[in-house]
Amino acid sequence: MPQTTRILLPESAIPTHWYNVVADMPNPPEPVLGADGKALSPDALSAIFPDALIEQEVSRERWIPIPQEVRELYQLWRPTALVRAHRLEAALGTPARIYYKYEGASPAGSHKLNSALPQAYYNKREGITRLTTETGAGQWGSSLSFAGGVFGIDVRVYMVRVSYQQKPFRRSMMQTWGAEVLASPSELTASGRAALAAHPDSPGSLGLAIAEAVEEAAGRADTNYALGSVLNHVLLHQTVIGLEAKQQFEIAGDWPDMIFAPCGGGSNFGGIAFPFLADNAAGKKPVRLVAVEPTSCPSLTRGHYAYDFGDAVGLTPLMKQYTLGHDFMPPGIHAGGLRHHGASSLVSQLYHEGLVEAVSVPQLATFEAGITFARSEGIIPAPESCHAIRACIDEALRCKQSGEAKTLFFNLSGHGHFDMASYDRYFAGELEDFDYPAEAIRDALARLPRVAEGV
């Protein structure tokens, strides 16, 4: 028999609990603040979130049980394979051992479904019949569309207008699962109307789409809002990735030296990295946890650690985060999932405390890495995932220089089947790198909400 390629787990190995990294953080999470600068009571969020998710948002319990209904739905595609990338290693000529976790195997094509299903479940349980959300690249909107359908919840997706136009097939996918998809900014909300009044041709932004979805949910009793990243409960749900991976590394008789994941809002990175951070905290062989972001939207590597809003308009509470300023408008890079102005509070705090690392990589190099991967391993990766692949390949090439046989592990968070237009533009030489000018970042940070000054 040849060497093992895919390390599989039985369905019984799907985790029974999510892992809450808060239990192992050296300091408690920074509080969420209201517009008045005072710590917000959790039930202030109840206009848009169900109680169960608010409880998860503030929980300090290490283990949170996964409802049986959710585990059964995870069985549609989980456990996902841990794959040893033999052919990529050979193509690079590296002594490093490279593994990836393939989250693109989900029906919606990315890890996002791990959180969409429990979010829909808890909302349904509390009598909610409608959900609003935003989507940029379309991965999150697709996932919530399917999850809503499963639980008989109507889903309305505010899709960033530029994505709505450039990615019609993500839209078709959401419609196939029964959701309603609107281009944002729309005429349906005050936030959208204001944006259109100022810029009739506005291409939209993730922050603006969030504002529209939150505004609608806050105004209707039957409607809640669901977010695909950033918040603690979303990162919590994604820990199934890392928890499965740890079981798979035990089977492989190996253990990562370094883990790489793309980082926009942080759910991809938190999902794979946090369960290993628990072992770091417990004093096991330390694993370096590397968040990979684009040079064009470098919140961790070039942003400021401060209180800021989660949306572009200022409707959300204030969260301590590495941010480029909530009205930061990143250039049109093709990894739409990484175009968020700030990182999750949990990832930000862990980064601030030196427990996780971050690097930024330029766009062209990420596509080059994605193509190298596709030609050796087969799967064509999503542009977001290409960021992790780039950083992992860079490390593998350093290992080639040094002769070190490190074990490298990355999250292949999604496939690129709905991103081929970006690959086309790369092949046509139409993409370019973008390094955000220092002054622009300074300007955006100068517009941080005033309350940040006092904290």
* Contacting residues toward a second copy, per CB under 8 A: 1-6, 8, 10-12, 68, 71-72, 75-77, 87, 105-109, 146, 149-150, 168-169, 172-173, 175-178, 371, 374-375, 377-380, 415, 417-418, 420-421, 423-424, 427
User: How long, in residues, is the chain?
Assistant: 455
Q: Give min distance, CB of 415 to a second copy, in A.
A: 8
CB–CB of 126/159 below 8 Å?
no
Q: Give min distance, CB of 100 to a second copy, in A.
A: 12
Nearer to a second copy, 37 or 149 (CB): 149
CB–CB of 259/287 below 8 Å?
yes
Nearer to a second copy, 66 or 230 (CB): 66
Nearer to a second copy, 5 or 41 (CB): 5
Residue with tokens 């000054």: 453
CB–CB of 262/269 below 8 Å?
yes
Q: Give min distance, CB of 9 to a second copy, in A.
A: 9
d(CA 401, CA 424): 33
Nearer to a second copy, 38 or 169 (CB): 169
Nearer to a second copy, 240 or 380 (CB): 380
Q: What is the 3-state secondary structure (H, E, C) of 344-371?
A: CHHHHHHHHCCCCEEEEECHHHHHHHHH
Q: Give min distance, CB of 351 to a second copy, in A.
A: 33
Q: Give min distance, CB of 3 to a second copy, in A.
A: 8
Q: Give min distance, CB of 272 to a second copy, in A.
A: 21
Nearer to a second copy, 291 or 380 (CB): 380
Q: Give min distance, CB of 439 to a second copy, in A.
A: 37
Coil, helix or strand at residue 212: helix
- Residue 96 makes CB contacts below 8 A (sequence gap 6+) with 89, 395, 396, 399, 400, 404, 405, 406, 407, 408
Query: Could you tell me which of 203, 202, 264, 196 has the C-alpha nearest to residue 230?
Result: 264
d(CA 209, CA 192): 8
Kindly state the DSSP code that residue 304 receives in the 8-state scheme.
E
Nearer to a second copy, 315 or 379 (CB): 379
Nearer to a second copy, 88 or 213 (CB): 88
Coil, helix or strand at residue 26: coil
The two beta strands, 6-7 and 82-84, are: antiparallel
- Residue 368 makes CB contacts below 8 A (sequence gap 6+) with 390
Q: Give min distance, CB of 73 to a second copy, in A.
A: 9
